[in-house]
Amino acid sequence: MLWALFHKSGGKPNRMRPRFMRKCAAPLSLRNLFSTLLVWGLLLFVVPFHAQSRENFTPEELRAAYLTSVTQYVTWPNESARNTLVIGVLGTSEVYEELARAPLSEVRDMRLEVRSLSRASQLTGIDLVYVAPNASNQLNAVFNTARIRPLLVITEHNQVREDMMINLIAPSPSRLAFQVNPDRINESGLRASNDLLVLRGSELESAVQLRRTQIALAETQRERNALSAELENLRQQNNQLLNRIDILEQTVRERDSVLRAQQGTLEDKQQVMESQQSALQELLAELDEQRQLLLERETQLQEIQRTLSQSERALLEQQQQLRQKEFQLRQKQVESDELAERIATNRTVLAAQQQQLRDQRAALVEQQELLESRERTIDRQRVYLWTIGVVFLFVLVFLLTTVILFFRSRRQADQLRQTLEELHEAQDKLVESEKMAALGNLVAGVAHEVNTPLGVAITATSMVHDRLHVLDENLEQGKLSRESLKGFIERASESLSLTQKNLTRVGALITNFKQIAVDQMVAEQREIDLKVYLEEVMSTLSIELRRAGIEYDIAIPDEIKMTTIPGAMAQIITNLVTNAIRHAFTEPGGHLKLQAESIAGHQVRLTFTDNGAGMEADILNRIFDPFFTTKRNAGGTGLGMPIVYNLVRQKLKGDISVTSTPGKGTTFTLLLPKQL
């Protein structure tokens, strides 16, 4: 985990640094430097903000600047085929609004987009997500998404977790620290450059100032557009006023021509002329008002043009400042690259020196050990010369004893090997007999289950045959009536429908029996629907359960698909049901329950539960031991549970565990892979 800290200190050493950071920053000799690196095992970077900055940055500006700056030092897969990077903000609206205030600069010819998220399920299409402190309850879902696709996760939480990539810490509103885990970033499919670890406060300061300049430019552009729209509106109004003035002048000219035409009849039309003169005066007054309004609008237009010119000059000045900021930012990035190169060079030189020091120490230690070894060898040879005779005698006696014991142990080993082979053969025969017994129980259950619907079908068919004979006699004697024919048709339809239902049931039972029997005899893999297959297995065992007065329930979600060995699965369920019937229930009224659910790691958890007598601790510890049974006098072999254990662990590549409470029942839990 690599740490970096941004703070306003004017480039001076920070008194708030941790003790171990001040220790690493002190001058060290070569030996002290080597021991310090061994103790801490990490690189610490302290990057100050400039205290001379006249701006007080808000926390939202710092976070927005960091989110946009990080994209320059992290590479996403297939960037050559992309044109957009999407930043998601989860749990805070202030940072999203700060990012959305102005258009974001392009990164490696890719434009940046920002989206506001309310829950972790909206991460589709997001490349970088910032998780605010008030959204800590959604961290697990975010990290799960980052494990399956390239997603850079930037968090801000006090409790640091192993799966975090970049974690922000705010000691104060004007300070921002961050923790970087490059290994976790690379595991998610991203590539983080070394420059990410030396990201300096001056770069964030420049980024914040750049965003402020962009926001000001955007506001100025909006004001310019508004002024242009207002200027265009005033021009349209002026054109309308000019058209109105032309219409009024045309009206005045027309009225003047009418007056001149009516001068010959002045005495007769004196009253008409007075009314025309009053209308003319009104038109002249309206004309003066329109001219005055036009002058005012022209004055406003001139003021707007002056304002627009000032805005354009201010915009040019801001653009010039922006270009200067971008040039300064590029210079700082070049300085950062040079600093990273110097750090890498220093690391290489330090590693070479450390290797030389280790080689020299190893050579000295080897020489010292060689001298000590020679001295010890001389001393030992003196003792060996006096004791070698006695030791030789003891060796001869020991060799003779060893040879005698070896021949004896060899004969015993041969006897034990022969006994073990006989035991394996007996165990295989018992396993086969257990399989045939389970298949015999299956055949007996299916035969009993088939007899009932076949008996109903035969009874219904014989009744139709008798009715048909009576109908034939009535037809020959001429006693056939409409009512008797109609009654025969109705009863025959009911009998045939009952026969069809029972024969359909018989066909389904036989199909299930064939499938289960074939699965138990053939150890091949195929895909099964877990719920449907277990229902088929339990239907073949239903007759035995009904005889014992036991009910069962299957609570398995639909569409759980598994590629497994169905025969092994069927034998496991058969042995568990048989074990429950023999050992768990002494009286009718028991209940079995099968449950299953999909879990992480492409696995299925299958649970077999009964509410029977349960088991004591000593029996529970030996339940999977071969030949251990509590019903030996009742014909038990003690191989049912060992067969289940071996099938689960060896055939299905899973795991099995059992829990039991006396008087409350037993639960078997199987963890099986969805695909072998």
More confident of the two residues 641 and 435? 641
Digit-coded pLDDT (tens) for 82-140: 899 999 999 888 889 888 887 788 888 898 999 999 898 899 999 999 999 988 889 99
Tell me the average pLDDT across 246-266.
Answer: 73
Handedness of CA 144, 150, 154, 158 (dihedral sign): positive
Tell me the average pLDDT across 298-322.
Answer: 78
**CATH topology of 2-199 equal to that of 522-676?**
no
- Is residue 555 helix, strand or coil? strand
Question: In the prediction, which pLDDT does 573 show?
Answer: 92
Mean pLDDT check: name the lowest of 53-67, 266-280, 593-607. 266-280
Question: In the prediction, which pLDDT does 610 show?
Answer: 94
* Neighbouring residues of 182: CB distance < 8 A, sequence distance ≥ 6: 2, 192, 196, 197
Q: Band of the pLDDT at 562, cuts 50, 70, 90?
A: very high
User: Contact at 8 Å (CB) between 590 and 611?
Assistant: yes
Share of the chain above pLDDT 70, in %: 80
More confident of the two residues 43 and 53? 53
- The per-residue pLDDT of the chain, averaged, comes to 77
Alpha-carbon Rg for the chain, nearest whole angstrom, is 48
**Topology (CATH level 3) of domain 522-676:** Heat Shock Protein 90 (3.30.565)
Tell me the average pLDDT across 358-369.
Answer: 81
pLDDT beyond 70 at 33: no
Q: Band of the pLDDT at 37, cuts 50, 70, 90?
A: very low
Question: In the prediction, which pLDDT does 212 show?
Answer: 77
Tell me the average pLDDT across 188-212.
Answer: 76
pLDDT beyond 70 at 513: no
Digit-coded pLDDT (tens) for 70-86: 988 899 998 888 899 99
Question: In the prediction, which pLDDT does 433 show?
Answer: 58
The first and second tokens of residue 623, run together, are 């339940």
CATH architecture of 2-199: 3-Layer(aba) Sandwich (3.40)
pLDDT beyond 50 at 12: no
DSSP 29: -
Q: Rounded to an integer, what distance in angstroms lies between the CA atom of residue 526 and that of residue 519?
A: 10
The first and second tokens of residue 211, run together, are 């965003």
The H or E element spanning position 41 is none
- Residue 204, Ramachandran bin (φ over 0: left; ψ between -120 and 50: alpha; else beta): alpha
Only one residue has tokens 């001149």, namely 260
Question: In the prediction, which pLDDT does 24 show?
Answer: 33
pLDDT beyond 90 at 350: no
Domain ranges of the chain: 2-199, 522-676
Count Cβ atoms below 10 Å from residue 570 Cβ, excluding itself: 24
Only one residue has tokens 């409409």, namely 482
Digit-coded pLDDT (tens) for 276-295: 777 777 777 877 787 787 78
Q: Rounded to an integer, what distance in angstroms lies between the CA atom of residue 558 and that of residue 59?
A: 50
Residue 71's Cβ-count burial label (10 Å; 0-12, 13-18, 19+) is buried
The first and second tokens of residue 118, run together, are 């309310």
Tell me the average pLDDT across 604-633.
Answer: 87
pLDDT beyond 80 at 18: no
Question: In the prediction, which pLDDT does 589 show?
Answer: 84
The number of CA neighbours under 13 Å toward the Cβ of 330 is: 5
Q: Tally helices (H) and strands (E) across the chain.
A: 14, 17
More confident of the two residues 498 and 55? 498
Q: Rounded to an integer, what distance in angstroms lies between the CA atom of residue 358 and that of residue 360?
A: 5
* Neighbouring residues of 593: CB distance < 8 A, sequence distance ≥ 6: 552, 553, 554, 555, 607, 608, 609, 610
The first and second tokens of residue 332, run together, are 């700082």
Count Cβ atoms below 10 Å from residue 472 Cβ, excluding itself: 11
Q: Band of the pLDDT at 40, cuts 50, 70, 90?
A: very low
Tell me the average pLDDT across 195-210.
Answer: 71
Question: In the prediction, which pLDDT does 131 show?
Answer: 93
